Amino acid sequence: MNARPEFAAVPVVALVGNPNCGKTALFNLLTGSRQKVANYAGVTVERKEGSLSMPAGRQLRIVDLPGAYSLDPLTPDEQVTADVLLGRRAGETQPDFIVCVADATNLRQNLRLVFSLKRLGRPMVVALNMSDVARRKGIVIDSAKLALELGVPVVATVGVKPRGVDALIELLDRVAVPAAAAPCSQTAGWQKPSVAEIERDQSEVRRILAAVGADRIEGATFSDCIDAVVLHPLIGPAILAVVLFLVFQAVFAWAQLPMEAIKLAVAGFGNWLNASLPASLLKDLLINGVLAGVGSVLIFLPQIAILFFFILLLEESGYLPRAAFLLDRVMGSVGLSGRAFIPLLSSFACAIPGIMATRTIQSARDRLATIMIAPLMTCSARLPVYALIIGAFIPHRAVWGGLQLQGLVLFALYVAGVAAAMAVAFVLKRIGHGSRFQTLLLELPAYHWPNMRNLAIGLWQRVEIFLTRVGTIILALMVILWALSTYPAPPAGAAGPAIQYSIAGYLGRALAVLFAPIGFNWQISIALVPGLAAREVAVGALGTVYALSATGSDLSGALAPLIASSWSVPTALSLLAWYVFAPQCLSTLATVRRETNSWRYPLMMAGYLFAMAYAGSWLTYRVASAFTS
Partner 1 sequence: MHGSFDQFLVWLALSVSCAYAVSALGPRTWRCGLLRGGAHLAEFCGLRRLASRLADAAAAKGQRACGGCDGCRRG
| Residues 65, 362: Cα–Cα separation, whole Å | 18
Q: Which stretch binds partner 1 (CB under 8 A): 156-164, 201-209, 468-476, 513-521?
A: 468-476
451 binds partner 1 (CB under 8 A): no
34 binds partner 1, rule: CB under 8 A: yes
Among 140, 147, 198, 285, binds partner 1 (CB under 8 A): 285
* Contact flag: residue 459 with partner 1 (CB under 8 A): no
Which residues lie across from 48 on neighbouring strands? 64
Neighbours of 442 (CB within 10 A): 19
Q: Say how far apart CA 614 and CA 530 lie, in whole Å.
A: 18
CB of 102 to partner 1, least distance (A): 24
Nearer to partner 1, 114 or 477 (CB): 477
With the C-alpha atoms ordered 264, 523, 489, 476, is the resulting torsion angle positive or negative?
A: positive
Supply the Cα-derived Rg of the chain in whole angstroms: 27
Out of 2, 194, 276, 553, name the contact with partner 1 by CB under 8 A. Answer: 2
Draw the binding track, 357-396, toward partner 1 (x: CB under 8 A; -: no contact): ----------------------------------------
Q: Which of 47, 48, 112, 367 binds partner 1 (CB under 8 A)?
A: 48
Which window, 203-211, 370-378, 476-484, 498-506, contacts partner 1 (CB under 8 A)? 476-484
Q: Going residue by residue from 402 to 441, which x/- string records binding to partner 1, judged by CB under 8 A? A: ----------------------------------------
Question: CB neighbours of 43 closer than 8 A, spacing ≥ 6?
Answer: 20, 24, 36, 37
Applying CB under 8 A, the span of 27-35, 218-226, 295-303, 383-391 interacting with partner 1 comes to 27-35
3-class secondary-structure state, position 74: coil
Least distance to partner 1, CB of residue 42, Å: 15
- Type of residue at 475: L
Contacts of partner 1 in 321-360 (CB under 8 A) = 350, 352-353
The answer to the question of residue 521 lying near partner 1 (CB under 8 A) is no
In the complex with partner 1, the residue whose CB is nearer, 273 or 473, is 473
Task: Report how many residues bind partner 1 under the rule CB under 8 A.
Answer: 39
- The residues, any chain, with a CB within 8 Å of residue 260's CB and separated by 6 or more, are none
Using CA atoms, how far apart are residues 54 and 50, in angstroms rounded to an integer?
Answer: 13
- What's the count of helices (H) and strands (E) in the chain, helices before strands? 29, 8
Contact 43, 36 (CB under 8 A): yes
Task: State the Cα–Cα distance between residues 538 and 545, nearest whole angstrom.
Answer: 10
Query: Residue 25: which of 164, 165, 163, 160 has the closest Cα?
Result: 160
- Nearest distance in Å: CB 166, partner 1: 21
DSSP letter, residue 65 = -
Closest separation in Å from C-beta 593 to partner 1? 9
Contacts of the segment 235-241: beta carbons below 8 A, 24+ positions apart: 236/322, 236/326, 237/326, 240/323, 240/326, 240/327
Binding mask 477-516 for partner 1 (x = CB under 8 A): x-xx--x---------------------------------
Other CB atoms within a 10 A radius of the CB of residue 598 amount to 12
Verify binding: residue 244, partner 1, rule CB under 8 A. Answer: no
β 124-129/154-156 pair status: parallel
Strands 124-129 and 12-17: unpaired
Give the pairing type, strands 124-129 and 97-103.
parallel
In the bound state with partner 1, the residue whose beta carbon lies nearer, of 42 and 193, is: 42
Of 412 and 483, which CB lies nearer to partner 1 in the complex structure?
Answer: 483
CB atoms within 10 A of CB 225: 11
Amino acid at 172: L
Q: Which of 135, 137, 365, 469 is the binder for partner 1 (CB under 8 A)?
A: 469
Which one, 130 or 350, has the nearer CB to partner 1? 350
Q: Measured between alpha carbons, how far is 247 from 312 in angstroms, rounded to an integer? A: 12
Q: Which range binds partner 1 by CB under 8 A, 112-120, 184-192, 245-253, 461-469?
A: 461-469
Residue 51 touches partner 1, criterion: CB under 8 A: no
Q: Interface with partner 1 includes 590 (CB under 8 A)?
A: yes
Binding window for partner 1 (CB under 8 A); candidates: 10-18, 55-63, 99-107, 585-593: 585-593
**For partner 1, which residue of 210, 235, 281, 513 counts as binding (CB under 8 A)?**
281
Scanning residues 533 to 572, which ones bind partner 1 (CB under 8 A)?
533
Task: State the Cα–Cα distance between residues 81 and 100, nearest whole angstrom.
Answer: 12
Counting contacts by CB under 8 A, is residue 36 touching partner 1? yes
Rounded to a whole number of angstroms, the distance between the first and last alpha carbons of the chain is 60
- Does position 31 interact with partner 1 (CB under 8 A)? The reply is yes
- Regarding 223 and contact with partner 1 (CB under 8 A), the answer is no
Contact residues: partner 1, CB under 8 A: 1-2, 28, 31, 33-36, 48, 50, 277-278, 280-282, 285, 350, 352-353, 461, 464-465, 468-469, 472-473, 475-477, 479-480, 483, 533, 586-588, 590-591, 594
